[in-house]
Amino acid sequence: MEYRKLGNSSLELSTITYGAFAIGGNMWGGNEKNDSISAIHAALDHGVTSIDTAPFYGFGLSEQMIGEALKGKDRTKVQLLTKFGLVWDGSNNGKGEFFFDANDEGKTVPVFKYASKANLIKEVEESLKRLGTDYIDLLQLHWPDNSTSISETMEALEALIQQGKIRAAGVSNYSVTQMQEAAKTIGLASNQVSYSMLNRAIEQELVPYTTANKIGIIAYSPLERGLLSGKYFKDAKLSNDDHRNGYFGQFDAEKVKALLQTIQPIAEEKKATLSQIVLRWTTLQNGITVVLAGARNAAQAIENAGAMNIELSAGELQMINNAIAGI
């Protein structure tokens, strides 16, 4: 495993970081608790030291399982990354910005973006309790909230750093303009954004900005929620309540297949999986600090960590890039 410093912070994260969205279950067709905890343990055993989660993932369940999985572990050897700013329990009393209606076991649950100081303080305490820890390594605003000033949110984050509740502050899904506004108040460690072979929009403005200002980028959805693993072009099936039934529809399936067919010989030559090649390619892109990879069982976690054992030559990278350009 390789470890990288996150922006100007003191944090060093594993380049492959465990992404804990899917183990929350909601939007992913449920979860198996024992498999999820085994996946976390397997990731830790194979060099992954960083875990990224959020209160919204499973409405608290993801954080709870991480807390359970880490019982008895050396806390100083694990970096916990979580978020705040999505409210689903009605505690915002109608404040904030409506985001979308989530499904909780057949029940419609309105989700709001709400990043006020009071809500941030409340959420941090809840996350600390669920995670079973007294500090969070990186706390990130989950989504921009247009109903709260950026300065209010950033001032609250700075206060939490001073109190020792968090080691560093980051954002997620922020534009360059929003990051520039935040910089007036706080030195952000990172921005967590969607990035993959099929989605390289951040290369235009965001990567140049973060690189110039020494801010880390945490890439999420590098496998496009499993699409780039190739298994959904074979015999893998999705449950009816899995959000990917609609998510995959945004991509041209035939072009994605063609891309994977180009990558397949490289994977076979290296005795690797398509997923491993895709993850390794992502870690080698300019400006990308760490890459999130989800796993719902131990085998997937071990496979993800193994991506860092693969070397891609300049020629192989060019071959992959040429294929991506054709999409």
Query: What are the backbone dihedrals phi and psi of residue 90, each rounded to the nearest 5 degrees, phi first?
Result: 85, 0
Contacts within 8 Å (CB) and 24+ apart, 265-272: 266/312, 266/316, 266/319, 266/320, 270/310, 272/306, 272/307, 272/310
Look up tokens 């709260």; give the residue: 148
Instruction: Give, rounded to a whole angstrom, the gap between the first and last alpha carbons of the chain.
Output: 31
Active-site residue among 3, 18, 57, 220?
Answer: 57
Backbone angles phi, psi at 245, to 5 degrees: -55, -40
104 DSSP 8-state letter: E
Pseudo-torsion of CA 193, 62, 77, 280, nearest 10°? Answer: -40
Sequence-distant (6+) residues with CB within 8 A of 156 are 117, 120, 121
> CA 103 from chain center: how many Å?
21
Return the CA Rg of the chain.
19
- In the chain, where do the E strands start and end? 3-5, 12-14, 16-19, 50-52, 79-84, 86-87, 97-104, 107-113, 136-141, 166-172, 190-194, 216-220, 290-294
Contact 271, 12 (CB under 8 A): no
Which tokens is 150 given?
Answer: 């950026």
Instruction: Report CA 106 to chain centroid distance, whole Å.
Output: 26
Q: How far apart are CA 130 and CA 191, in angstroms?
A: 24
Is residue 18 among the annotated active site residues? Answer: no
Q: Which residues are catalytic?
A: 57
